[in-house]
Amino acid sequence: MDLKISRQKWTDHKFNFGIDVGWSQNIITRISDIGMRCQYHCDSLSDEMLSTRYDQKWSIKENIGHLIDLEELHLKRIIQFKSLETELIATDMSNQ
């Protein structure tokens, strides 16, 4: 089974900050539902598949662990976003 997917590195991502305010609920929902979506996509995978590193990249488990580590940051940003703050708390890019 070839699970190789070519993706842009997260640290190379360019963000669009001109998103219409009408998208706010979609963004909040997407961030809030990450746990449910991970479970949906991973329930049928074996522990071996979840733990395997492909091309020396993080395994699925490691990626999910990273998202859990960032949950506090996500929650702070959601609160800031709902409060219509003009700037959201920055991420620590040394935690790549």
pLDDT in tens, 22-60: 888 888 888 888 889 999 999 999 999 999 998 888 999
- Confidence check: pLDDT of 70 > 90: no
Burial class of residue 50 in the structure, from the number of CB atoms within 10 Å of its CB (0-12 exposed, 13-18 middle, 19+ buried)? middle
- Confidence check: pLDDT of 21 > 90: no
Q: What are phi and psi of 57, to 5 degrees?
A: -90, 170
At residue 58, the pLDDT reads 93
The model's pTM: 0.67
- Confidence check: pLDDT of 61 > 60: yes
Coil, helix or strand at residue 54: coil
Taking the domains of the chain in order of start, what are their residue ranges? Answer: 24-82
Mean pLDDT within 72-86 = 86
